Structure 1
Amino acid sequence: MDQKDKREGYERIVDVSLCHEYYNGSCCGFNVTPSSETAEIMRREGLLCRIYDGKVRIFAFCKPHQNVISKKMTLSFFVRASISEVWNVTRFDNVAHDELPVANVSCSNGVCVKGRKKSTLPELQQIFGVLFLLEVVLEPEYINHEKYLTCTVKIPTKKLRWCYCVSGAYANKNLLINDSLKTDDPVRFECIERSSRFSLYVSQREIPIVSGAPPRFQLLDSATSKVLMKCLPNANAKSIAKTKTGQDGGSIFVAECFVNP
């Protein structure tokens, strides 16, 4: 990869991509803004920052036989959702309600996501709709030896149990839903309700909801294993539905897809 910027003497030292699992790993749906402290650090250190949709690139002026950076620095960027549905489909695990997810990236530790108390981030109160904080750590022992920071931060998708509501000709059949993606550890579905009009099949574990990914599940006849439908629809943000009652009498929140062959 060519590390040179258009401005002579500047070299790319950071290339961070933000991708969302919901959009099948594409870099979209993000608005990135440096904190006021970071903007001051970059001005003082002579660093250039180029922000694209889902990409943060930092450039430093490089002179022969001189260090690129003088000391360890942490640059902070507030990341907001530029697409409204990103809010509904994003869920960071192990982050409390009063915490903001922080994605810390560095050459030494890679990508690490953890929660931080919102009360410790006063500037957060002045910025509406922050999804998470991106921290870029510049380490002299790597940067000054041309080991530049290049990584991808994968934003996790909300996981729900998928529910297929099958109506029409197959409503009262004994069906099997086949997982074509993970044949070694397939997601299994159970029928929780059946009538002459429809039947409900719910996954036994949670699955990430997606948009744009290839179809994952197939509809089979349980008795003959004959494929009835090669491509069942994937659950997306519009699939999030009300609770359904399982066989154990409990309630579950599902991503519901309607199938009427």
Structure 2
Amino acid sequence: MMITDTHTHLYSEEFNLDREEMIQRAIDAGVSRFFIPAIDSSSTMAMYDLEKKHPSTVFLMMGLHPTYVKENYLDELQHVEEELAKRKFFAIGEIGIDLYWDKTHLKEQQQAFIKQIQLAKKYKLPIVIHCRDAFDEVFEVLEQEKSDDLFGIFHCFTGTYDQALQAISYNMKLGIGGVVTFKNGKIDQFLNQIDLKHIVLETDSPYLAPVPYRGKRNESSYLVNVVEKLSQIYGCTMEEIAAITTENSKGIFGI
């Protein structure tokens, strides 16, 4: 069984004491493809080091996370552009809008989101969207930028059925992780109405650990718990969930 984690912050300092062991636990559990989102320029070298150690299993994105859009965001976007011009990445991400912590830089977040979508189109790459308390704002940008060459993943999808359909209408897969195991997560109530061809798996580790690890540090091996939950929701085997979602990830990332 090959499982793909389409969104994991393996370079996070939360893994500094046991990163290699944690990666090996994931591989032993069947999780053998790790897609790594960028945060800002401070994470770039750690991502490159990770890729150097695991060239056949670690695949990098480049982008500016919306909660890191500050006064210097134009400098950060310049860094994104410079890195994209140097080498290959597999997505622009994670990008988007986050109004949960702070609404101060909404305008800058919108501008950064639009700019990075345009970079994705230029390099023919998927986007990986971060959206928190900002569905209307994210959809407004996607409506403005929609085109046949805009596609990607709606990371950590936590919306309603209607919002799921809207995301899919913009050529987005839904990134499903630990939230699907939460009693108050709600997405498990309608997910079986969404065809599996629109689903990819993710952990967002070290965040959002699934039940029974909720509240603890998340890691990629716990994706097995998400696969198990989805097999119950869709009434199929864990192997089928793993195979279909991995195939979907290949369609998005091209690898």
The alignment's TM-score, normalised by the length of structure 2, stands at 0.26
Bigger strand share: 1
Greater relative CO (CA pairs within 8 A, separation 6+): 2
Structure possessing the higher radius of gyration over alpha carbons: 1
The alignment's TM-score, normalised by the length of structure 1, stands at 0.26
